[in-house]
Structure 1
């Protein structure tokens, strides 16, 4: 069974941009900065991951955050292809289905146990298995 699930916890990199589409929908775009594990030379490496949502509620949540604030997003990895057939441009981004502020010091409740940032280590996922 194929799965396309993304969970990111990182910092909002800068301002959020909105684009009106010909369909009448609004695309909200931003980037999230995610630190990598410690680099072998001791330097901290980061990735700046492009995110987009077409959901007005998710967009409203992202717009209230300030740059450098921590956030948690869930969604799916997408590859978009733009341009004429002779000069295609491939872009990869996370299509976000939900976003919320992430506060590491937030107290846990019985309904929502605390998820410290250190425990959000990606789990190993087996490579695609052959289809039956």
Structure 2
């Protein structure tokens, strides 16, 4: 069975953009910054993931947030193709069906890791700089 389900928890990167379409609908666009797990060199890398919605209720939730606020979204991964046949542009994005503000709680390094739906919560929460810096 095929499944196309996406769950993202991250920070809103910038203000939301809205674009009216010829059909009368409005597409709402934004990006979510999601931290990757630390790599071998110890650097924290991030991904900036483009998100869109055509749902007015979902758009209202996202518009109510400020840049750098945490957000949780669910939706589907989409590949869209734009442009003339000689010069196609491929764009990958998450088409969001639900969005809600996310209350991030910082956990201490000795706290047990919460596991919600198979996702380790501590992996989603950025650690304070003192935990990332080598000591000694």
Q: TM class by shorter-chain length?
A: 0.7 to 0.9
Cα deviations across residues 33-75 of structure 1 (Å, max 9, x unaligned)? 0000011101110000000000000000000101001000000
TM-score normalized with structure 2 length: 0.78
Partner of 2:40: 40
Structure 1: 5+ residue runs without aligned partners? 106-113, 121-132
Rounded Cα–Cα distance in structure 2 between residues aligned with 1:40 and 1:64: 37
Q: What SS is found at the alignment partner of 2:61?
A: helix
Task: Give me the CA root mean square deviation.
Answer: 1.6
Runs (4 or more) in structure 1 with deviation over 6 Å come to none
Separation (CA, whole Å) in 2 of partners of 1:65 and 1:104: 14
Counterpart position of 2:62: 62
Using the size of structure 1 for normalisation, the TM-score is 0.81
**Distance in 2 between residues matched to 1:65 and 1:117, nearest whole Å:** 22
Where in structure 2 are there 5+ consecutive unaligned residues? 106-114, 125-136
CA contact (8 A) 2:37 2:123 kept: no
SS of alignment partner, residue 62 of structure 1: helix
How do 1:25-104 and structure 2 match up within 5 A?
Answer: 25-104=25-104
Query: SS of 1:91's equivalent?
Result: strand
What residue is the counterpart of 1:5 in the other structure? 5
Q: Secondary structure at the match of 2:57?
A: helix
